[in-house]
Amino acid sequence: MPLINLTDPVTLILILIGTGLLVFLSQELKKSYIGMIPLAIHLILLIAHVIHLVTLPEQANPDIVKITCFCLVADFIFVLATFFAYLWVDDMEAKKMGKRSLDNSLDWFWKSV
């Protein structure tokens, strides 16, 4: 079985709540480094699930392969969501401090949010 099985609804809901709370906290405090915590965690999970999938033997149970592939898809979705959340909070923090954010290429997106 994978390190963290994201096919289990309870685990998925707990990870979703934890990620949402950390993103909300970073948005409220306007500290982008808090938004990096869930991003780093999801990147580590993604790497762990890839290693797990690569090291599975050829005669592995197809259900385990299917579960691990679902976990990879969920990890990619979480990484994408937390990356955008980090960029959003970084933009908010830069405006608060009067600095330039790390990447202004998504200004058109932030104006519509």
In the chain (113 residues long), the average pLDDT of successive 10-residue segments reads: 77 92 90 89 92 85 86 92 88 78 61 66
Residues 73, 98: Cα–Cα separation, whole Å: 37
What is the predicted pLDDT for the residue at 40?
A: 94
Cβ–Cβ < 8 Å for 89, 30: yes
Cβ–Cβ < 8 Å for 24, 38: no
What is the predicted pLDDT for the residue at 101?
A: 58
pTM check: above 0.95: no
What is the predicted pLDDT for the residue at 103?
A: 59
What is the predicted pLDDT for the residue at 38?
A: 92
Judged by DSSP in three states, 90 sits in helix
Count structural domains, the chain: 1
Residues 78, 57: Cα–Cα separation, whole Å: 27
What is the predicted pLDDT for the residue at 27?
A: 87
In a domain, 3, yes or no: no
In a domain, 4, yes or no: no
In a domain, 76, yes or no: yes
What is the predicted pLDDT for the residue at 60?
A: 79
Measured at the CA of 72, the angle between CA 70 and CA 74, to 5 degrees, comes to 70
Q: 103: domain range?
A: 9-112
Cβ–Cβ < 8 Å for 54, 28: no
Judged by DSSP in three states, 69 sits in helix
Positive or negative, the Cα torsion across 27, 40, 81, 64?
A: negative
In a domain, 1, yes or no: no
